[in-house]
Amino acid sequence: MILEFENVVKRYSSLTALKGVTFGIEEGLIFGLLGPNGAGKTTLIRMINQIIGVDEGRILFDGQPLMPKHTQNIGYLPEERGLYPNMKVKETLIYLSKLKGISSRQSTENVNMWLEKFDITSWKNKKIIELSKGMQQKIQFIAAVLHNPKLLILDEPFTGLDPVNTEMIKNEIRNFKEQGATIIFSTHRMEQVEDICEKITLINKGEIILSGEIGEIKDRFKKNLYILKHQGKIPQETLDKFEIVVEKDDEISVILNDNNEINSFLQAVLAHSYIKSFIEKLPSLNEIFIEQVQGESDE
């Protein structure tokens, strides 16, 4: 495990933000840290970055108790931009790189490489304040990865980016994973999580309520709902034998609880109609997120 939380508790006056949180993140994963506003995600991220400490429990980094020295191996792209508005792009990046212990020469080489990779070398002498939101986000991303961190924390990394630049950043995230880095990805955009993450942990009210591989989680919460597209008229008495959720034109949504029921349904349809497609509809991560968080709120 690159990162382990063991019974971590954090209190702010009368509020307990984290209530004995325990989970681990394997090395080389793109890991989704999810939760509604106020769930405790920001507290966890601040702890990893050594901004705040734990009240109880402990955090391990690469098998060792987390200490300030470990921040040299951590990169962080915050949701709120943290760049100096009146500094120039290149001098900002070199300065932030040197704060991570990289030499002046290596910092300059790394900055030049990233500016060229993102095709923004011509912006190196522009002040941060002169850049668009999307351009500032690209600079913020570069600042987070300049020192080639072992652990990269990305909080809403695609904010302000158009689809082309979003895909560019996604590719770089995947490249870091291929090189052995671990990425913690925090966002409210569940479709982005499904696209890029392998495992997730969902936190709500300071407690872990769901954790695991995305495919396994979606399978766990499936409703046995199937979508059939067909061509031809199916008699109503045939459909009445099954739990039809929606029927419209050439598409039927049906609940089928086991293989025998699936076979019976398909045979009944084939007797009257041509089947174009038949698929199981798994719940989206967004649907699971809402169901789990609302379920917690109702208790």
> Which domains, from first to last, does the chain contain?
3-218 (3.40.50.300), 223-280 (3.30.70)
pLDDT digit string (tens) for 279-298? 999 999 999 999 898 876 55
| Rounded mean pLDDT, 250-274 | 93
Q: Is the pLDDT of residue 32 over 70?
A: yes
The full length of the chain comes to 299
pLDDT at 249: 84
Q: Is the pLDDT of residue 248 over 90?
A: no
pLDDT at 297: 57
pLDDT category of residue 80 using cuts at 50, 70 and 90:
confident
Q: Average pLDDT, whole number, for the chain?
A: 92
Q: Is the pLDDT of residue 9 over 80?
A: yes
| Rounded mean pLDDT, 155-163 | 91
User: Which residues, 6+ apart, have CB-to-CB distance to 17 below 8 Å?
Assistant: 10, 11, 40, 43, 206
| Rounded mean pLDDT, 167-171 | 94
| Rounded mean pLDDT, 31-48 | 92
pLDDT > 70 in the chain, percent: 99
| Rounded mean pLDDT, 13-29 | 93
pLDDT category of residue 61 using cuts at 50, 70 and 90:
very high
Q: Is the pLDDT of residue 82 over 80?
A: no
pLDDT at 260: 94
| Higher pLDDT among residues 294 and 254, named by residue | 254
CA-CA distance, 287 to 217, in Å (whole number)? Answer: 12
pLDDT at 294: 83
Which of 10-14, 79-83, 109-113, 141-145 bottoms out in mean pLDDT, i.e. has the lowest? Answer: 79-83
| Rounded mean pLDDT, 110-123 | 93
| Rounded mean pLDDT, 177-206 | 93
pLDDT at 296: 62
Q: Is the pLDDT of residue 11 over 90?
A: yes
pLDDT at 127: 94
Rama region for 60: left / alpha / beta (φ>0; ψ in -120 to 50; rest): beta
Structure tokens at 45: 């991220």
pLDDT at 122: 92
